[in-house]
Chains A and B, each alone.
Chain A
Amino acid sequence: MSEKKIIDARGSFCPGPLMELIAGIKMVEIGDEIEVLSTDKGSAAEIPQWLKKVGHEHLGSREEAGVWHVNLKRSK
């Protein structure tokens, strides 16, 4: 497993954090972890829903000073 990849999608309305993740997840290996940073509250709910639908693992989310940190693992 390589170092955790950070996708810094703060301030991204378009394409937005989930679209950044969809692009970014293809750039890591299966088993690698990713942390998505987002200032968009909707993404905190949207990303885990997408992970569940596609079959990647949601490792947890937290909010710090207006930034949501969504952690996940590429599972397939």
Chain B
Amino acid sequence: MKILVIGGGMGGTILANNVARTLKDELKSGKVQITMLSASDKHMYQPGLLYVAVGRMTPDELYRDQASLLEPGIQFHVDPVEQFMLDANQVKTKSGKVHGYDIMVIATGSRMFPDSIPGLKENAEFFYTEETAVKLFHRLREFQGGKIVIAMGVPHKCPMAPLEITFMLNEYFMERGIRDKVQIHYTYPIGRVHTLENVAKWAQPEMDRVGITYETLFNLKSVDGEKRVLHSEEGTEISYDMLISIPAHKGMEVIETNKLGQNGWIPTDRYNLNMEGRSNVFVLGDTTNIPISKAGSTAHFEAETVGANIAALVRFGAPVRKYDGKVFCFIQTGSESATYAMFNYIKPPDPKAPTRAIHWFKLAYNKLYWISARGLL
């Protein structure tokens, strides 16, 4: 039985490790083979980029060697897939090698795509790659006062990121002693400050309390870098001195070029996590088109479900679990406070008031992540 995992991010790594541990005897005897194909020999802790931007982490803290995170017996190759041949149960990689499979898991993730908004890429700061987070860190250090506007595209990775960067900027400038010289102006695409109603109910009065201004129903249409003005789909304008964007995201290009899903999102059964029409292909994390948060925890919980089902398929010939839509997101609400939101397809989130204890737990998780990626937490 050949199990092929495409992508070495959080979802693919947890899945491969879980399956390897559950099927350790089969792996040892050669009855099962697990192969992972990835574009990089490094694994990045992506949520850490937010902390890099405000000087709370350094980029070197975000990386581990991917091979060091994998259970013995998993064959790992830095050789990204370029062609999916689903009818033949094969993929072809950049090096030209063809890998066959009995079961395949696609967990290739997503990428920021600011290109869809004219002027955005050239004029905004981002924090979704190491390069952009470090650039934002330097821009913030140099910033002595003026109007910072937070604007976003849809869909974006990590639905809490807009609020987190906003509240962290508030405390960042307080700590620098120039908060009174900085206007932080938050925008959001729908008619409240966050899509989760309970989060919005907490966040809006908190913004009022700390003097963060906001504008809802603002969908970015274009950026005029010369005049430093944002234009919205709704017909409004906002001026800025610094623009920080949580840009729209797309799935990876290889998904689009192979026509596996529009914008790189693969049509996926929300409970079984099968690629639609393919019983031996599973999809994890950002790569799915399921209408839930594109977040690490989503990939984590999906990987646990699919891992258990693959092990059961190998041993019993049938899956044993369904994914219930579980998502858990920390919400960093300042440099010393945090809360969280947990929900699934049925139960809405009910975030509690932020505490320092949750903040410390979040900081601990920034380190514990590496245990989580190994599938141990």
Contact = CB atoms under 8 A, between A and B. Distances in A.
Interface string A14-37: 111111101100110000000000
B263 interface: yes
Contacts, number: 73
Contact of B291 (A20, A26, A27, A50): A20
B155 A23 contact: yes
B225 interface: no
Contacts of A14: 159, 195-196, 292-293, 327, 329, 341, 343, 349
B189 A22 contact: yes
Nearest to A26: B116
Contacts of B293: 14-15
Interface string A24-62: 001100000000000000100010011001100000000
B357 interface: no
Contacts of A16: 190, 195-196
Contact of B270 (A11, A20, A23): A11
Contacts of A7: 291
Contact of A19 (B195, B345, B348): B195
B346 A11 contact: yes
B291 A8 contact: yes
B277 to A, nearest CB: 16
B233 interface: yes
Interface in B335-375: 341, 343-346, 348-349
A14 B262 CA distance: 20
A35 B341 CA distance: 29
Contact of B196 (A10, A13, A54): A13
Contacts of A26: 116
A13 B116 CA distance: 25
B159 A15 contact: yes
B325 interface: yes
Contacts of B248: 23
A72 interface: no
A18 B80 CA distance: 35
A70 interface: no
B116 A11 contact: no
A49 to B, nearest CB: 7
Given A19-B189, A42-B197, A46-B191, A53 B234 contact: yes
B39 interface: no
A20 B196 CA distance: 13
A54 B233 contact: yes
Interface in B109-154: 116, 154
B331 to A, nearest CB: 11
Contacts of A46: 190-191
B341 A50 contact: no
Interface in B237-278: 248, 262-263, 270
9 contacts: A11-B270, A11-B344, A11-B346, A18-B195, A19-B195, A22-B190, A23-B155, A27-B262, A49-B191
| 3 smallest beta-carbon distances between A and B, as pairs | A11-B345, A12-B291, A16-B195
Given A14-B329, A23-B248, A42-B197, 8 more contacts: A11-B292, A11-B346, A13-B196, A15-B291, A16-B195, A19-B154, A19-B190, A54-B233
